[in-house]
């Protein structure tokens, strides 16, 4: 139990850290990506507003810059690129650089740092101009290929490879497509992303080690308290066995020696309550040993179908006496590897619980089968209305779903806790549910790679 508590604490703590750290990392990288895109779009807007060139200073245009060495781009009709935008320059403002004062990031060096190329196409998709003056990594064929992809996409902006593009319509009805080289920005973004992931993983590993170390100290008081409680139950149970045995023996002697003692209601009540206390003591000790792990299970293969049939048969007469409909569906010839004594006790506990808390004339059903290397047990019974919130607590010690479940039924409120411990010791799972609020269903799943049928 303590190990499970510690494991749940570690999982909950790490899950919280992962969620918080993941949100922070995603937020930072999304903002970083948006900032990169925004900067690229601002540069493209400047280029679009100035006819595909940078204003690099008062009265100066991008075309006044010297060409990069080895770059001799040609315009599709064979004209030199230097004269490409001569007609457009006459239409620009005398001093367009003054309009860029609102952009804090812009400087005269921006024009020299940015690599881009411009493709102009007409309404029919024919290439009119290709300006490769400010880039050396792209030739005319590559420029046409990039432009063709943008035209087919129909998007006015976006990414094509490492290039951020922007499409705008010129005065003569043609489309100007400007591609900005963002390889450095994308490389920086990816480097930051990979570094942030690496740092986050290292941080998670460090936090996991710290949580694992400190979780032991955090649950230590609970562990000590639980150990004292378990030891008290075990010791008290063993101490109670002796006086209970003596009381039961004294009542038996009194019945033999006193005339009419067998009909004495007080002696019979003492005998019944002594038996009830003895059963409760045995269940508490058994539960304590199961949770402690000091009661080793004898794992062996046995015919679980036969065991279930024998157990169900013993409740057939009880169903007749209590006027209850008892349906049994057991898959024949199923063998299971587990502790036979514990499985028998599990079936008895579930059936006993179903018969105790089902009303007269009610239905009780029991089924056993195997699917996908798993043994499936199901016990279902009619019952008084059970609130949905109470179902989750049915496996708690001494828990009763309603006030009508009192000692007159013969139960102690601990049987389902023992059943849960047995299932848990077999690495299985037990769940309680209600289809309509007036019935109770217990489902048990026990894994076993050696199930045979």
pLDDT tens per residue, range 289-347 = 666 655 667 888 999 999 999 999 989 888 888 889 999 999 999 999 988 988 998 99
Do the domain assignments include residue 4? Answer: no
Question: What mean pLDDT comes out for the span 75-81?
Answer: 44
Q: Which of 424, 313, 413 lies closest to 366 in space, CA to CA? A: 313
Do the domain assignments include residue 237? Answer: no
Of 156, 181, 206, the one marking the end of a domain is 181
- Supply the pLDDT for residue 239: 72
Q: Which segments of 58-180 does DSSP mark as H helices, in order?
A: 86-89, 108-113, 140-153
For residue 401, what is the DSSP state? S
Place of tokens 């952009």: 103
Domain enclosing residue 89, as ranges: 50-181
Strand, coil or helix: 298: coil
Please report which confidence band the pLDDT of residue 82 belongs to, taking 50, 70 and 90 as the band edges. Answer: very low
Residues 312 and 440 in one domain: yes
Please, which residues have CB within 8 angstroms of residue 37's CB and are 6 or more apart in sequence? 164
Please report which confidence band the pLDDT of residue 100 belongs to, taking 50, 70 and 90 as the band edges. Answer: low
- Supply the pLDDT for residue 276: 74
Do the domain assignments include residue 121? Answer: yes
Number of domains in the chain: 2
- Supply the pLDDT for residue 328: 93
Do the domain assignments include residue 15? Answer: no
- Residue 139 and residue 131 in contact, taking contact as beta carbons nearer than 8 Å: no
- pTM (2 d.p.): 0.54
Of 181, 210, 235, the one marking the end of a domain is 181
Do the domain assignments include residue 113? Answer: yes
Q: Which of 354, 352, 344 lies closest to 307 in space, CA to CA? A: 344
Of 165, 181, 197, the one marking the end of a domain is 181
Do the domain assignments include residue 45? Answer: no
In 294-371, beta strands by DSSP E? 299-303, 325-330, 335-339, 363-371
Do the domain assignments include residue 72? Answer: yes
Please report which confidence band the pLDDT of residue 247 belongs to, taking 50, 70 and 90 as the band edges. Answer: confident
- Residue 163 and residue 177 in contact, taking contact as beta carbons nearer than 8 Å: no
Angle among Cα 187, 189, 194 to the nearest 5 degrees reads 95
Say which residue, 58 or 428, is predicted with more confidence. 428
CATH code, domain with 351: 3.30.565.10
- Residue 85 pLDDT greater than 60, yes or no: no
- Residue 407 pLDDT greater than 60, yes or no: no
Do the domain assignments include residue 16? Answer: no
Question: What mean pLDDT comes out for the span 51-75?
Answer: 56
- Supply the pLDDT for residue 266: 76
- Supply the pLDDT for residue 70: 39
- Supply the pLDDT for residue 390: 77
């Amino acid at each position: 139990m303590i190990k499970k508590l510690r494991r749940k604490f570690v999982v909950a703590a790490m899950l919280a850290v992962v969620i918080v750290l993941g949100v922070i990392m995603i937020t930072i990288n999304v903002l970083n990506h948006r900032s990169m895109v925004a900067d690229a779009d601002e540069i493209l807007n400047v280029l679009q507003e100035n006819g595909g060139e940078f204003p690099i200073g008062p009265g100066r245009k991008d075309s006044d810059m010297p060409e990069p060495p080895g770059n001799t781009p040609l315009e599709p009709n064979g004209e030199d690129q230097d004269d490409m935008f001569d007609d457009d320059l006459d239409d620009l403002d005398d001093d367009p650089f003054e309009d860029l004062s609102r952009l804090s990031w812009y400087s005269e060096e921006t024009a020299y740092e940015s690599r881009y190329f411009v493709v102009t196409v007409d309404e029919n998709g024919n290439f009119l101009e290709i300006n490769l003056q400010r880039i050396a990594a792209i030739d005319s064929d590559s420029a046409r290929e990039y432009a063709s992809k943008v035209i087919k996409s129909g998007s006015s902006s976006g990414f094509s490879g490492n290039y951020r593009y922007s499409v705008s319509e010129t005065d003569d009805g043609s489309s100007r497509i400007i591609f900005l080289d963002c390889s450095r920005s994308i490389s920086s973004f990816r480097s930051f992303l990979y570094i942030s992931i690496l740092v986050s993983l290292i941080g998670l590993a460090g936090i996991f080690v710290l949580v694992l170390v400190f979780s032991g100290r955090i649950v230590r008081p609970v562990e000590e308290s639980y150990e004292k409680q378990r030891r008290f139950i075990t010791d008290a149970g063993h101490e109670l066995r002796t006086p209970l045995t003596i009381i039961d023996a004294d009542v038996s002697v009194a019945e033999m020696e006193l005339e009419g003692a067998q009909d004495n209601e007080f002696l019979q009540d003492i005998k019944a309550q002594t038996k009830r206390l003895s059963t409760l003591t045995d269940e508490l000790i058994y539960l304590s040993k199961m949770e402690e792990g000091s009661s080793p299970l004898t794992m062996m293969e046995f015919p679980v179908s036969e065991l279930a049939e024998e157990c169900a048969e013993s409740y057939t007469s009880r169903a007749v006496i209590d006027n209850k409909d008892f349906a049994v569906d057991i898959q024949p010839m199923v063998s299971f590897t587990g502790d036979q004594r514990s499985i028998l006790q599990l079936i008895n506990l579930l059936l006993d619980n179903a018969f105790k808390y089902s009303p007269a004339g009610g239905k009780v059903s029991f089924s056993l089968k195997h699917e996908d290397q798993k043994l499936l047990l199901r016990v279902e019974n009619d019952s008084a209305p059970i609130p949905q919130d109470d179902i989750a607590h049915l496996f708690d010690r001494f828990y009763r779903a309603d006030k009508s479940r009192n000692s007159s039924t013969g139960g102690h409120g601990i049987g389902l806790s023992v059943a849960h411990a047995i299932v848990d010791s077999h690495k299985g799972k037990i769940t309680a549910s209600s289809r309509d609020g007036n019935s109770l269903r217990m489902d048990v799943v026990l894994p076993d790679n050696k199930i045979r049928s």
